[in-house]
């Protein structure tokens, strides 16, 4: 049974670190990146954000973002089969929070906004209105992702100590 406990510990550690890294990226966007982009002229902000939305699609970021999701799926599944064991509820809650609050929110709310922004020409006269709406709604959903990822990291951290 010792090797299973070691695997669960390693899985929990990987999930905690992944959630923390993702939370840090989202935190940066929520606390200063979007504020800075909102202060530049709309055509510049749109251009910068369009560039960010392309360059974020790297193996490093996507690996951490979705790799953490995979770790959470494994942890959630393990939790269902080992309900009642020490740390199980914390791992279950951390997994559910990351999967719903980070992955699902990204797919359902942030990515569609990014796709709509990608179709906007920064020089278009209506770009100022589009940009203002984008910044406020995208950032609001990013706050959700930030809080969910930080809370998930904390829950996994608590599971490590249980």
**pTM score:** 0.95
Q: Which structural domain range is residue 120 located in?
A: 2-160
Phi, psi (degrees; rounded to nearest 5) at 40:
-90, 165
Residue 136 has pLDDT above 90, yes or no: yes
State what percent of residues in the chain have pLDDT above 90: 96
Tokens of 58: 């790297």
Query: What tokens appear for 142 in the block?
Result: 């990013």
Q: Is 38 exposed, middle or buried (0-12, 13-18, 19+ CB in 10 A)?
A: middle
CA distance 103 to 66: 8
What is the separation, in whole angstroms, between the first and last Cα of the chain?
17
CA angle (54 as vertex; 68, 97 as ends), nearest 5: 25
Q: Is the pLDDT of residue 94 over 90?
A: yes
Domain count, the chain: 1
**Helical H segments across the chain, by residue range:** 2-28, 34-39, 42-55, 59-81, 88-98, 105, 111-118, 127-160
Tens-digit pLDDT profile for residues 19-71 = 999 999 999 999 999 999 999 999 999 999 999 999 999 999 999 999 999 99
């Amino acid at each position: 049974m010792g090797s299973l406990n070691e695997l669960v510990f390693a899985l929990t550690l990987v999930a905690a670190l992944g959630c923390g890294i993702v939370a840090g990226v989202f935190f940066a966007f929520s606390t200063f990146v979007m504020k800075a982009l909102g202060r530049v002229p709309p055509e510049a902000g749109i251009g910068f954000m369009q560039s960010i939305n392309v360059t974020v699609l790297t193996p490093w970021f996507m690996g951490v973002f979705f790799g953490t999701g995979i770790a959470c799926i494994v942890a959630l599944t393990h939790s269902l089969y080992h309900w009642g064991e020490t740390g199980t509820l914390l791992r279950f809650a951390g997994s559910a929070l990351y999967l719903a609050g980070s992955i699902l929110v990204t797919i359902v709310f942030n990515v569609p906004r990014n796709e709509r922004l990608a179709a906007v020409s920064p020089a278009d006269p209506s770009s100022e209105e589009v940009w203002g709406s984008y910044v406020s709604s995208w950032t609001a959903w990013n706050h959700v992702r930030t809080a969910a990822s930080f809370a998930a990291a904390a829950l996994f951290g608590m599971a490590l100590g249980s």
